[in-house]
Structure 1
Amino acid sequence: MSRKVKWGVLSTADIAKRCTIPGMQKAENCCLYGIAGRSKEKVDQYKEIFGFEKAYYSMDEMLDDPEIEAVYIPLPNTLHKEWVLKAAAKGKHILCEKPLSGTEADVKEMIDACDKAGVLFMEAFAYLHSPLITSVKATLDSGIIGDLSFMESVFITPGYTPDNIRVRRETLGGSVYDLGCYCTSLMLTLFGEEPKEVKAIGHFTDQHIDDFASAYFHFDENRRACMVSGMCSAQRGDRFFLYGTEGTIEAPIPFNADGELTYYVKKGEDCQEVHVSVRDNYCLEVEQLGNCILNGEQPHVTHEFSLQNARVMDKVLKEIGY
């Protein structure tokens, strides 16, 4: 049997329970070795539900265990930097939830610390590992819709209760940090460069976070993009459309979707359906970082990409007055 990476999950956050740990269970090169948190009750519960080998009742205790090779960090945005630096200092490879931190400067400090410690470090954009994104990029690059001239992306959800970290200023909540980062990261992936101009507006709640934001991006050669992020809709809605000089690609598909997915390539009266089989995106990202650790692959979400996305988000947040 091939060797598996011994993973530790640094916190009992909801995103870990709902999405990432179930994905880790499916990953062929992942051993669910440890779960850590401040609540003994929740840690014991996660250990029983998911079958972790060990429980740790402080996060430092997990980092001190030499058996742990890699950690997944699903903590609130404001805690990412602290625990990435601590994990790197202990020689652990790191998968950290998006967005990596609040600013490009923080992201650079995290990257530099991981490079100095000689550990792998990747931002957890699970959807970027999806064969759907690979297929859309290949279709775009084939020239079938001509040159990309405009892109629109939307990610909106219902609101959250006031105690949710996604809507609290002290945990860097808000729609741009939580949802808009998907739109900006996809835009960078498909355009392959950073925009030259960013304009944005936002609406702020009494808790001083943006529950709605809309941004405009201008690229070289008069190419453009727009995004909408919001925590203000009765229903979740996420999708992206690409407009070329000869046709369009329409992907009315949720981020991080799996199963049998379909997007549409339209040229004049012709509409082609493209079907893609997609495994659990969270499983794919864990397997990919595992392959980096075990087989010398390079992280799919690179440091430069994370810095680019942080720079774009900084500009959007500055524009809306966050």
Structure 2
Amino acid sequence: MGQTVNWGILSTAKIGREKVIPAMQKGAVSRVLGIASRDQASAQKTADALGIPRAYGSYEALLADPEIHAIYNPLPNHLHVPWSIRALDAGKHVLCEKPIALDTKEAETLLAARDRTGLIVAEAFMVRYAPWWQRVRALVQEGRLGRVSAIQTAFSYFLDDPQNIRNMPEIGGGGLMDIGCYAIATARYIWGSEPQRAAALIERDPTMGTDRLTSALVQFPEGHLTFTCSTQLVPHQRVTVIGTKARVEVLIPFNPPTDVPVQILLDDGRALGGAQALVEEFGPADQYTLQGDAVSRAILGDGKLEFPLEDAIANMRVIEAIFRAGDKGTWEAP
């Protein structure tokens, strides 16, 4: 394998074309060698546009290439586990888009395949590789905020196209699976613990059936995560981590532009409205590049994967608890 991991991309999905592939191509130990589509012309068109050396007219052809070491799976949610298992059985490591599966039971079949093959499977929560998120976690761990007992998250966009996969509940569409999962993952990341129970309100689109507005209260040993996510509100995202001494606010927490600095605000509350807040700025960085290289290094044996597949399954348990809580109107434990 040498000192570089050759990646193959399963499908010409938009997130891959526009975000992940260009980022991974900048990596120090990641090389995008090939891309597959169910149509050779589509694969070739994307390969030509992005400067990818190999194009395959089927996913099977990519998996059969012995020079592909690992695959990135950005397929629709219902295809995450089936094709990730096929990749493992073909001897390829896997970086799979979030959420890792449609439910915990399905995710556990992927875990069994990982254990059977001994290969690496990682869920693509790129935010945990971003320097601003690592700084937020460090501030909490160092006690700079005092005792942190509240995290508030908002994440929304507007998308009402019934033909979009994010609006198809039968294949894992809806707000909680698509973006609410970030609120859960980042709270677990900051506190380093698992939640105890959750309550939720869920509003579903009357035509499409997806959860278009979900608000949850999630109890952790350390405190409360409250979040709202929506697929039918104005685009917005913000995270505030609140302690007894100070709070930190992440201004564009999940997908900031890669060509401008990212800011977080550290505010001790001396002036309401944050007028005295300290601004910490992080130079432009692409969290997808950082993610790709982190997984590549784990594949190369240079360090351990910090967030193994078990972490993805733990996140899925919380998602399921929130769905149950919203449907039943009761507190639910993961």
Q: Normalization by structure 1: what TM-score?
A: 0.95
In the alignment, the residues of structure 1 paired with residue 173 and residue 112 of structure 2 have an alpha-carbon distance, to the nearest angstrom, of 25
1:122-133 counterparts in 2 under 5 A? 122-133=122-133
1:290-301 counterparts in 2 under 5 A? 290-301=296-307
Match of 1:283 among 286, 289, 292: 289
Aligned residue pairs, count: 319
In the alignment, the residues of structure 1 paired with residue 309 and residue 241 of structure 2 have an alpha-carbon distance, to the nearest angstrom, of 26
In the alignment, the residues of structure 1 paired with residue 108 and residue 255 of structure 2 have an alpha-carbon distance, to the nearest angstrom, of 26
8 A Cα contact 1:130 1:278, kept in partner: no
8 A Cα contact 1:203 1:211, kept in partner: yes
Letter in 1 for 2:243: G
Secondary structure (helix, strand or coil) at the match of 2:100 reads coil
2:178 pairs with 1:178:
yes
Which runs of 5 or more residues in structure 1 are unaligned? none
Aligned-pair CA distance for 1:212? 0.8
In the alignment, the residues of structure 2 paired with residue 156 and residue 64 of structure 1 have an alpha-carbon distance, to the nearest angstrom, of 39
Secondary structure (helix, strand or coil) at the match of 1:298 reads coil
In the alignment, the residues of structure 2 paired with residue 79 and residue 289 of structure 1 have an alpha-carbon distance, to the nearest angstrom, of 21
In the alignment, the residues of structure 2 paired with residue 79 and residue 102 of structure 1 have an alpha-carbon distance, to the nearest angstrom, of 9
In the alignment, the residues of structure 1 paired with residue 305 and residue 255 of structure 2 have an alpha-carbon distance, to the nearest angstrom, of 18
Residue of structure 1 in register with 2:332 after alignment: none
Q: Normalization by structure 2: what TM-score?
A: 0.92
Secondary structure (helix, strand or coil) at the match of 1:99 reads coil
Letter in 2 for 1:319: A
Secondary structure (helix, strand or coil) at the match of 1:242 reads strand
Residue of structure 1 in register with 2:244 after alignment: 245
Secondary structure (helix, strand or coil) at the match of 1:321 reads helix
8 A Cα contact 1:146 1:244, kept in partner: yes
Residue of structure 1 in register with 2:311 after alignment: 305
Which runs of 5 or more residues in structure 2 are unaligned? 271-275, 329-334
8 A Cα contact 2:88 2:94, kept in partner: yes
CA RMSD after TM alignment: 1.5
Aligned-pair CA distance for 1:278? 4.4
In the alignment, the residues of structure 2 paired with residue 278 and residue 10 of structure 1 have an alpha-carbon distance, to the nearest angstrom, of 28
Match of 1:316 among 322, 326, 332: 322
Aligned-pair CA distance for 1:10? 0.6
Provide Cα deviations, 1:74-116, integer angstroms capped at 9, x if missing partner.
Answer: 0000001100110111110100000000112222221221121
Letter in 1 for 2:61: E
In the alignment, the residues of structure 1 paired with residue 191 and residue 316 of structure 2 have an alpha-carbon distance, to the nearest angstrom, of 16
Aligned-pair CA distance for 1:300? 2.9
In the alignment, the residues of structure 1 paired with residue 31 and residue 269 of structure 2 have an alpha-carbon distance, to the nearest angstrom, of 50
2:266 pairs with 1:265:
yes
8 A Cα contact 1:91 1:118, kept in partner: no
Residue of structure 2 in register with 1:109 after alignment: 109
Residue of structure 1 in register with 2:4 after alignment: 4
2:77 pairs with 1:77:
yes
In the alignment, the residues of structure 2 paired with residue 321 and residue 61 of structure 1 have an alpha-carbon distance, to the nearest angstrom, of 42
In the alignment, the residues of structure 2 paired with residue 308 and residue 150 of structure 1 have an alpha-carbon distance, to the nearest angstrom, of 20
Letter in 2 for 1:218: Q
8 A Cα contact 2:40 2:58, kept in partner: no
8 A Cα contact 2:78 2:172, kept in partner: yes
8 A Cα contact 1:198 1:216, kept in partner: yes
In the alignment, the residues of structure 2 paired with residue 197 and residue 290 of structure 1 have an alpha-carbon distance, to the nearest angstrom, of 35
Residue of structure 2 in register with 1:142 after alignment: 142
**Per the alignment, do residues 84 and 59 of structure 1 end up closer, same or farther by CA in structure 2, a change over 3 Å counting?**
same
8 A Cα contact 2:239 2:253, kept in partner: no
